[in-house]
Homo-oligomer: A and B are copies of this chain.
Amino acid sequence: MSPTLEEVARLASVSRSTVSRVINDHPNVRAETRERVWKAIRQSGYQPNVVARSLVTNRTQIISVIIPESVTTLFTDPFFSLLLRGTTETCNAHQYHLMLSLFTAKADRHEMYQRVLHSGYLDGAVVASTTLDDPLIPDLLHDHVPFVSIGRYPDDRVHYVDVDNVGGARMAVEHLIRLGHRRIATIAGPLSMTSGQDRLNGYQQALEARRIPIDDALIVEGDYTEPSGGVAVHQLLPAEPTAIFAASDIMAIGVLKALREAGLRVPQDISLVGFDDIPTASAVEPALTTVRQPIERIGSVAVEVLLSVLEDTPSENPTTHRLVLPTELVIRASCSAVSNG
């Protein structure tokens, strides 16, 4: 199929080594020779065989985005599309290839882990939003696979890129407080995920800062799915909240539907804030006030961090990279001032 180094070498009347030097931009090649070799390369349509190269360099220029079993049910969430877009874009820019590994529940986890991670194909991995009880990150640490986590992970050795979940949640709740709400409920994300914990934390901080007592009847844990939002509403309504902060837009949409069915109007009867700013957030009626996180950016930055880790000589100081990107409150139509009634 494609010619080999040796063939190009013959064509240019030089040795294999010289062609290799030209291809790899090695400085010590006479300009004239370099010229001649390039001509031969172009003429023959030579493409280096990356597999052969990988065999000797031990580098493949492939990184993987791993989405763990525990969250594959959420995979259709636009969050992941945007994340993938950010990661691929950056991979492209750095001439890396991106492999996608969804650790679906069906497959035998262990088999899959072995096959994907010990295949020898991966230089490193980006791990998207694990739960704290997922063995994936511990396994990766144990096997010394270079990786970056999307989302905070409580271990000193883990590089991560996260968004300011605490701050974002705080902003959302402060917004509701500013509108006069005092009975503000929250549908938290899964507390097995740091994002779930952090957003709940932000909610609590905002209330405490204004000395509004925290009422456990106003806190329900969801799981970032739409039905869980609907279920949560029914648990919350008896506590008579005037506003709800849902820890994800998907859940907020579930809330919206459930409220509609219960005959309550948003925002007249109850205000609602989401989190994420997925495209649907602006499509629903009323358009959702939410906290925007730069998802595509996160993916992009995660890859950048990973590549910098990969390029580092491994011997030296093992600084852990931890980046937290800002969030932003997007005000739309789902909140109103509390009625003075």
Does A324 interact with chain B (Cβ within 8 Å)? no
A104 and B78 form a contact (CB under 8 A): no
Bound: A84/B89 CA distance, A: 17
Chain B residue numbers with a CB within 8 Å of A104 are 88-89, 92
Any B CB within 8 A of the CB of A120: yes
Tell me, in angstroms, the Cα distance from A98 to B81 when the chains sit together. 16
- A62: CB under 8 A from chain B? yes
Instruction: Check: A114 CB closer than 8 A to any chain B CB.
Output: yes
Is residue A341 within 8 Å, beta carbon to beta carbon, of the partner chain?
no
- Interface 1/0s, chain A 36-61, versus B by CB < 8 A? 00000000000101111011000010
Smallest CB gap from A98: residue in B = B100
**Interface presence of A119 (CB below 8 A):** yes
* Given A76-B81, A78-B78, residue A101 in contact with residue B119 (CB < 8 A): no
A97-133 Cβ-contact flags toward B at 8 Å (1 or 0): 1111110101100001011101111000000000000
In the complex, what distance in Å separates the CA atom of A198 from the CA atom of B81? 27
On chain B, the residues within 8 Å of A89 by CB distance are 102, 104, 106
Which of B95, B99, B102, B284 is A283 in contact with, Cβ under 8 Å? B284
* Min C-beta distance of A102 to chain B, whole Å: 5
A95 to B108, CA, bound (A): 12
The count of residues in chain A whose C-beta lies closer than 8 Å to any C-beta of chain B is 53
Query: Closest CB-CB distance, A302 to chain B, in whole Å?
Result: 15
Q: How far is the CA of A72 from the CA of B81 in the complex (A)?
A: 11
For the complex, is A22 an interface residue (Cβ under 8 Å from B)? no
Contacts of A116 in B (CB 8 A): 97
- Asked whether B62 lies within 8 Å of A121 as measured between CB atoms, the reply is yes
Q: Which of A52, A80, A97, A285 has the most CB of B within 10 A?
A: A97
Minimum CB distance partner of A81 in chain B: B76
CA of A273 to CA of B158, assembled, Å: 48
Given contact pairs A107-B92, A284-B283, A50 touches B120 in the complex (Cβ within 8 A): yes
Most buried by B among A60, A62, A85, A284: A85
Q: Please name all residues of chain B whose beta carbon is closer than 8 Å to the beta carbon of A54 when the two chains form the complex.
A: 51
Q: Is the pair A118, B60 in contact by a Cβ cutoff of 8 Å?
A: no
Of the candidates B47, B65, B95, the one whose C-beta lies within 8 Å of that of A118 is B47
Using Cβ atoms and an 8 Å threshold, which residues of chain B touch A82? 76
Q: Interface of A with B (CB < 8 Å)?
A: 2, 47, 49-52, 54-55, 60, 62, 65, 72, 75-78, 80-82, 84-85, 88-89, 92-93, 95, 97-102, 104, 106-107, 112, 114-116, 118-121, 226, 253, 256-257, 260, 279-280, 283-285
By Cβ-Cβ distance, the 3 closest A-B pairs, closest first, are A47-B118, A76-B81, A88-B102
